[in-house]
C-alpha cells in the first residue's frame, strides 16, 4: 500500500511563502516581547543598583573596622611572634637525639618468664596433689576381713 503523502507534490513556492509568513509572525511577537520586557528590565536594573549601593553603605563600616583591626593589630602581632620564634630557633642549639635503647633478646626474656611461671604452676600442682588423701578404690576394706575372720573363729569355736 503506497503512502499517501509520497504522492503529493511539494510546492517550493508555497513553502517559501509559509516560511516568510512564519518569520514575519515571529518578528512581530519578538518585538512585542521586547517592548514588554524593556521597562521591566530597566526597573530591575535600577532596583539592583539601589540595593547594591545600600548594601555597600551598610557593609562599609564593618569592612573598614575589620581591615583596620587586621592591619593595625593582627599583622604586627603576627610579625612580632614570627620574629620571636625565628630568634628563638636561631639561639637554640641543635637538639641532640638520644640513641634508642636497644631491647636485647626480648623473645628470650619472654621464653624465660614463661618457663618460670610454668615451673611454679607445676610445683604448686604437685604439692596440692600430694596433700590430698590417697584412696585406692580397688583396695579391699580392712575391716571387712577382720569381721569375717572373727565370724569364722566363732563358728569354729562353737561348732567344732
Domain ranges of the chain: 13-91, 106-159
What DSSP string runs through 38-79? HHHHHHHHHHHHHHHHHHHHHHHHHHHHHHHHIIIIIHHHHH
Backbone φ and ψ for 31, nearest 5 degrees, come out as: -65, -45
Q: Residue 1 has what pLDDT?
A: 47
> Average pLDDT, stretch 7-24?
85
Q: Residue 68 has what pLDDT?
A: 92
- The answer to whether the predicted template modeling score (pTM) of the entire model surpasses 0.75 is no
Q: What is the dihedral of CA 10, 13, 14, 18, to 10 degrees?
A: 120
Q: Residue 134 has what pLDDT?
A: 76
Per-chain mean pLDDT for the chain: 85
Residue 8 is given by DSSP the state: S
Which residue in 118, 139, 120 sits closest to 128, CA to CA?
Answer: 120
How would residue 3 be classed by pLDDT, with cut points 50, 70 and 90?
A: low
Backbone φ and ψ for 57, nearest 5 degrees, come out as: -70, -35
Q: pLDDT (tens digit, 9 = 90+) per residue, 63-122?
A: 999 999 999 999 999 999 999 999 888 887 777 777 777 777 888 999 999 999 999 999
Percent of the chain with pLDDT over 90: 56
Q: Residue 4 has what pLDDT?
A: 57
Residue 138 is given by DSSP the state: T
In the chain, the N- to C-terminal Cα span, in Å, equals 144
Residue 102 is given by DSSP the state: P
Grid cell of 21 as nine digits: 509568513
CB-based contacts of 51, cutoff 8 Å, min separation 6 = none
Amino acid at each position: 500500500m503506497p503512502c499517501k503523502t509520497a504522492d503529493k507534490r511539494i510546492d517550493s513556492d508555497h513553502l517559501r511563502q509559509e516560511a516568510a509568513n512564519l518569520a514575519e509572525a515571529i518578528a512581530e511577537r519578538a518585538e512585542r516581547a521586547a517592548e514588554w520586557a524593556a521597562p521591566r528590565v530597566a526597573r530591575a536594573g535600577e532596583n539592583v543598583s539601589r540595593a547594591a549601593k545600600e548594601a555597600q553603605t551598610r557593609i562599609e563600616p564593618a569592612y573598614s573596622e575589620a581591615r583596620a583591626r587586621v592591619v593595625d593589630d593582627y599583622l604586627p602581632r603576627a610579625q612580632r611572634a614570627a620574629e620571636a620564634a625565628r630568634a628563638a630557633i636561631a639561639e637554640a642549639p641543635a637538639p641532640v637525639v638520644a640513641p634508642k635503647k636497644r631491647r636485647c633478646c626480648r623473645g628470650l626474656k619472654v621464653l624465660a618468664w614463661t618457663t618460670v611461671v610454668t615451673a611454679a604452676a607445676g610445683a604448686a600442682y604437685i604439692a596440692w596433689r600430694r596433700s590430698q588423701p590417697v584412696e585406692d578404690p580397688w583396695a579391699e576394706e580392712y575391716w571387712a576381713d577382720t569381721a569375717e575372720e572373727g565370724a569364722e573363729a566363732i563358728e569354729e569355736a562353737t561348732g567344732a
